[in-house]
Amino acid sequence: MLHVFALVLAASAASAQTSPNAQLVQELLQADPAARHSNNIVQDALLDAPGLIRKYGYPVEVHNIVTADGYIVQAHRIPHGRDANNRPGPRPVVLVMHGLMCSSADFLVLGPGNALAYVLAEAGYDVWLANARGNYYSRRHIFLDPNDREGLEFWKFSWDEIGNLDLPALVNFIIANTGQQKMHYIGHSQGTTTFLVLNSLRPEFNEKFISFQALAPSAYVEHNENKLREIMVQFESVLESVAFSLGFGEAMGGEGWRQIFTALGLTLCNDQSFLQPLCVFAILGAGEIENFNKTMLPVIVGHNPAGAAIRQIIHYGQVLRFNRFARYNHANPLTNLAEYGSLTPPEYDLSRVTVPAYLHYGKNDAQSDYRDVLLLGERLGNTIGVYPIERETFNHFDFIWGGDVRTQLYDKLVDIMRSAERALDQNS
Ligand SMILES: *[C@@H]1O[C@H](CO)[C@@H](O)[C@H](O)[C@H]1NC(C)=O
């Protein structure tokens, strides 16, 4: 979601000065006759992820998991299905990780029958939806304060830490809780980046996964035609210090922003609003939207963006700028030296990622160019397959919001996961 970068910076700058309040949200909602929306759209925009799961009759557990460096990350578990496979019991586990500025809600907003989390639960999986540190559900730490604008200590992390520290805590917790020694991993976009970080930095984790299902994988950007590249070349090195000195380390997160976006989504993005096309553009850029159900927009905006650290965005900027998939480049090279033992950050060694990998790409995905996905497939230690989505216009957001994503991808994903389980049984 790099294209929202400018918007993010502007919005974060604004958030440093004004704190959105519930009053404004109430006024916005009152100005809009509720009759404009079906009850479901309003409800689903206002409910949080566990609330959505509960509303649709699925079992849900909320787990708060403490990382080695004290962040408290939240996982939402759907232990079994509602209509099929609907009794408790040991089931194959799948850990699902969202993309940049997103949350566990990505895999729920399309609702039962369409959203990935429900499809997996009905197919017989024990579904664990992760939330990365700093997002709406994981904005907590055992002693650091995310709202402290002085030191901003809470916000000094990128997706390197999410892969290196959040994922191990989640994986170890799930193993202890379920007794299952291995699990599938599904990541979307940044959720794939963090998996590569984990298994390249800590290869002992490879054996804990049955398969890696990479949806719109993000690592190499050699073919990315993002205009941000030129901006990053000029400004990347000063972005962090400028952002931190202005007092913000966070991009559009927390309760205040969530309320504002929810209210804006319900009032401006509904089917009757003449501004709906603008909402589409704000969320998807100029992307292809033929299979995107616009009626769902208020629900999507009710859950996105879900916040992130500025450094996560800057770290992607560095990948673009240096054309290297490497660890975070600190502004002061001496910090690099202290942390990595070298003045420039080392590249992630993807040959160390040996989990059976299945890469799924859209041919119209501007954020994860298919040529870079093919390159990743060549460099990973154990690529089993690289799969194009059939529809030519399938883009980055169709993976989570596409009206046809179940038939284009999710059903096939379940088949592939089952075949990976069979392969594992045969080898053991
Ligand atoms: C779009 O979403 C609305 C609200 O969930 C639903 O009623 C409608 O059937 C959907 N349209 C299509 C084409 O799927």
Distance of CA 167 to the CA centre of its chain: 13
Q: Could you tell me if residue 211 is left (phi over 0), alpha (psi between -120 and 50 degrees) or otherwise beta?
A: beta
Q: Classify residue 294 by its DSSP letter.
A: G
Q: How far is the CA of 403 from the centre of ligand 1 (A)?
A: 9
303 is written with which tokens?
Answer: 């859950």
Percent of the chain clearing pLDDT 70 (strictly above)? 87
**Contact in structure between 311 and 237 (CB atoms under 8 Å):** no
Q: How far is the CA of 265 from the centre of ligand 1 (A)?
A: 17
The pLDDT, as a whole number, for residue 22 is: 47
Q: 187 Cβ partners below 8 Å, 6+ apart?
A: 96, 97, 193, 194, 195, 212, 213, 214, 215, 217
Nearest partner of 76 among 85, 91, 65, judged by Cα: 65
Distance of CA 175 to the CA centre of its chain: 22
Atom 6 in ligand 1: which residue has the minimum CA distance?
A: 295
Tell me: pLDDT of 16 over 80: no
The pLDDT, as a whole number, for residue 288 is: 60
Q: Look at 257 and 363; give whichever has higher pLDDT.
A: 363
From the CA of 294, give the closest atom in ligand 1.
1
For 32-253+305-427, give the CATH class.
alpha beta
Q: Look at 27 and 3; give whichever has higher pLDDT.
A: 27
**Interhelix angle 228-245/310-322, nearest 10 degrees:** 140
Buried b (16+ CB within 10 A) or exposed e, 269-295: bbeebeebeebbebbbbebbbebbebe
What integer is the mean pLDDT of 101-130? 97
What integer is the mean pLDDT of 161-182? 98
- The sign of the torsion formed by the CA atoms of 301, 302, 304, 307 equals positive
351 is catalytic: no
189 is catalytic: yes
What integer is the mean pLDDT of 108-137? 97
Tell me: pLDDT of 2 over 50: no
Q: How far is the CA of 293 from the centre of ligand 1 (A)?
A: 6
Residue 410 to residue 96: CA distance in whole angstroms: 13
3-state SS class at 385? strand
The pLDDT, as a whole number, for residue 83 is: 96
The pLDDT, as a whole number, for residue 30 is: 57
């169709």: which residue's tokens?
398
**Contact in structure between 125 and 410 (CB atoms under 8 Å):** no
Tell me: pLDDT of 346 over 60: yes
Pairing of strands 383-388, 357-361: parallel
Query: Which alpha helices (DSSP H) does 145-189 contain, by range?
Result: 159-161, 167-178
Least confident interval from 94-108, 257-271, 301-315:
257-271
Give the tens place of pLDDT for each residue, 189-236.
999 999 999 999 999 999 999 999 999 999 887 777 666 666 666 677
Residue 362 to residue 339: CA distance in whole angstroms: 36
The pLDDT, as a whole number, for residue 29 is: 54
Least confident interval from 38-42, 111-115, 181-185, 410-414:
38-42
Q: Could you tell me which residues are beta bridge partners of residue 71?
A: 141
Quote the pTM value.
0.90
Evaluate: CB of 293 within 6 angstroms of ligand 1: yes
The pLDDT, as a whole number, for residue 26 is: 52
Catalytic residue among 189, 211, 218, 273: 189
From the CA of 38, give the closest atom in ligand 1.
4
pLDDT band at 156 (very low <50, low <70, confident <90, very high): very high
3-state SS class at 26? helix
pLDDT band at 8 (very low <50, low <70, confident <90, very high): very low
Tell me: pLDDT of 9 over 70: no
